[in-house]
Amino acid sequence: MVEAYILITSAIGKVRGVSEKIEGLENVKSVRIVTGPFDLVALVESEDLSTLTNTVVVGIREIDGVVDTNTAIVVE
């Protein structure tokens, strides 16, 4: 099992819509709108690194309104 926190920057005015779309993706366990340098934090759990990568690159990054992502893989 691979776990990661995805730190997401969204376009202005699109945070709630992006959050709702991310919540609907497979392997996404939770999404929170936050303050600070990022707009959202998503917790993703997947069977392997390839599936995690696919969730981020094909799932999250393709959502209209997502400007940037930063992935922090849980190591311990």
Burial of 68 (0-12, 13-18, 19+ CB in 10 A): exposed
Average the pLDDT over 27-52 and give the result.
97
- pLDDT at residue number 68: 98
Position 54 in a domain:
no
CATH number where 33 lies? 3.30.70.920
Query: Three-state DSSP class for 18?
Result: helix
> Which secondary structure element, helix H or strand E, spans residue 5, and what is its range?
strand 2-10
**Mean per-residue pLDDT of the chain:** 97
pTM of the model: 0.94
Position 52 in a domain:
no
Position 53 in a domain:
no
Average the pLDDT over 5-34 and give the result.
98
What single-letter DSSP state applies at residue 59?
I
- Please give the tally of structural domains in the chain: 1
